[in-house]
Homo-oligomer: A and B are copies of this chain.
Amino acid sequence: MYKLLKKDGNARRGELTTVHGTVQTPVFMNVGTVGAIKGAVSTEDLESIGTQIELSNTYHLHVRPGDEVIKKMGGLHKFMSWNKPILTDSGGFQVFSLSKLRKITDEGAKFQSHIDGSYHMFTPENVVQTQSMFNSDIQMQLDVCSGWGVERKEAEKALRITSDWFIRAKKEWETQREKGYKGILFPIVQGNFFEDLRKQSAEFISSFDMPGIAIGGLSVGEPPEEFIKFMNYTVQYLPEEKPKYVMGIGTPEYILDAVRAGIDMFDCVLPTRNARNGSYFTHDGMLSIKQERWISDFGPVDKDCNCKVCKTYSRSYLRHLFKEQEILSSILASYHNLYFLNNLLKEIRQAINEDRFEQYRKDFLERFHSGAVDQK
């Protein structure tokens, strides 16, 4: 499934082969929460953005339109008209972050939908069934995510349940495979911000020969240095030959840190959320398009970006669209931000190929943090 092509320090170039095609890693996965890739209208758009793989949320799709609709429509690929790989998360994180009234027991997670107040029960088995019904190329086990700063006791309990649920998820996944499902399942390392728990979880997961491994419970409110520390700490206990996925990161800094730690996959809603708030990625730092100073600025958002937004529109016009709250503002900004991040990953892959990742990272961050965007 995963082929390690090249190493440059701990940074890795690889290929992950799925039912719907091969993904070049490291890769940023565009998030289409409800099965819609924000910011992209056409297949050509998705291609020019450089989208290799799309991530959808089991939680959202389970609540609306529901498993049965997607099954009837022939799976998520057909429903969305997206013919490349899809990764679905298990819903564990959304139960943790979005739902009202949740109750975690050994059996599963009972929760009330944040959308319509309806009650649902996720079990390790039924989320595998749902994701198999979606025909996900890569599915995640149900896990228990705990936040930054919880007591050791809570972290221990979350880990124990996550580990038990992995065994049950794996069994159900094997049943689904026997029935013809071809997708793969990733277990999730938890352990909160306790080194021994992280080690215990990583070693436990590594003792199974799974197609890939996710690291969960990071980027949940902790300071950046804790994020880096625990990511690096966890990775060392995971087998080199497996693709590794850190969930929920989407800033250039975090991505560069993750690649440096040997991580292969990431996802985040940040680029499109930022976009809707008028915040654009640029090589010179984050650009807030709402600022007065862009009102009659001819220049593009980022003169070194080759995306069609930067090639076509001025800051003046994009600011105007944002101020007018035109839908087009969100669309153009999302397009740009996704293009920017996917292009960052493309450049990272090339740098690794050419044994110059450290230099690339240093140069990128130096410019990104230079404050140049604020000195125009």
| A327 and B333 alpha carbons, distance in the complex (Å) | 13
Cβ of A247 under 8 Å from chain B: no
Q: For the side of the interface on A, what is the size category?
A: 35 or more
| Contact indicator A36/B298 (Cβ below 8 Å) | no
| Contact indicator A331/B298 (Cβ below 8 Å) | no
| Contact indicator A316/B81 (Cβ below 8 Å) | no
From the candidates B34, B79, B81, name the one contacting A326 in the complex (CB within 8 A). B34
Cβ of A308 under 8 Å from chain B: yes
| A65 and B51 alpha carbons, distance in the complex (Å) | 34
Cβ of A252 under 8 Å from chain B: no
Q: How far is the CB of A255 from chain B (nearest CB, A)?
A: 25
> Which segment, of A5-13, A38-46, A86-94, A361-369, faces chain B?
A38-46
CB nearest neighbor in B for A324 = B34
> Which of the listed residues A81, A319, A320 has the most CB atoms from chain B within 10 Å of its own CB?
A320
Q: How far is the CB of A165 from chain B (nearest CB, A)?
A: 28
Cβ of A113 under 8 Å from chain B: no
| A353 and B60 alpha carbons, distance in the complex (Å) | 52
Interface residues as binary, A40-69 with B (CB distance below 8 Å gives 1, 0 otherwise): 011111000000000000001000110011
Residues of chain A from 309 to 363 with CB closer than 8 A to chain B in the complex:
312-314, 316-317, 319-321, 323-324, 326-328, 330-332, 335
Task: Please indicate the chain B residues that have their CB under 8 angstroms from the CB of A73 in the complex.
Answer: 296, 298, 314, 316-317
Task: Please indicate the chain B residues that have their CB under 8 angstroms from the CB of A44 in the complex.
Answer: 44
Q: How far is the CB of A363 from chain B (nearest CB, A)?
A: 31
Cβ of A1 under 8 Å from chain B: no
Cβ of A80 under 8 Å from chain B: yes
Task: Please indicate the chain B residues that have their CB under 8 angstroms from the CB of A314 in the complex.
Answer: 73, 79, 81
From the candidates B45, B68, B312, name the one contacting A81 in the complex (CB within 8 A). B312
Task: Please indicate the chain B residues that have their CB under 8 angstroms from the CB of A323 in the complex.
Answer: 64-65
> Which of the listed residues A42, A314, A321 has the most CB atoms from chain B within 10 Å of its own CB?
A42
Task: Please indicate the chain B residues that have their CB under 8 angstroms from the CB of A229 in the complex.
Answer: none
Interface residues as binary, A73-101 with B (CB distance below 8 Å gives 1, 0 otherwise): 10000011100000000000000000000
Q: Which A residues fall within an 8 A CB radius of B?
A: 34-38, 41-45, 60, 64-65, 68-69, 72-73, 79-81, 295-296, 298, 308, 312-314, 316-317, 319-321, 323-324, 326-328, 330-332, 335
Q: Would you give 30 A-B contacts (Cβ < 8 Å), ordered by A?
A: A34-B321, A35-B317, A36-B321, A37-B328, A38-B326, A38-B327, A41-B308, A41-B332, A41-B335, A42-B45, A42-B312, A44-B44, A60-B324, A65-B295, A65-B316, A65-B320, A68-B296, A69-B295, A69-B296, A69-B316, A72-B296, A79-B314, A79-B317, A80-B317, A81-B312, A81-B317, A327-B327, A327-B330, A327-B331, A331-B331
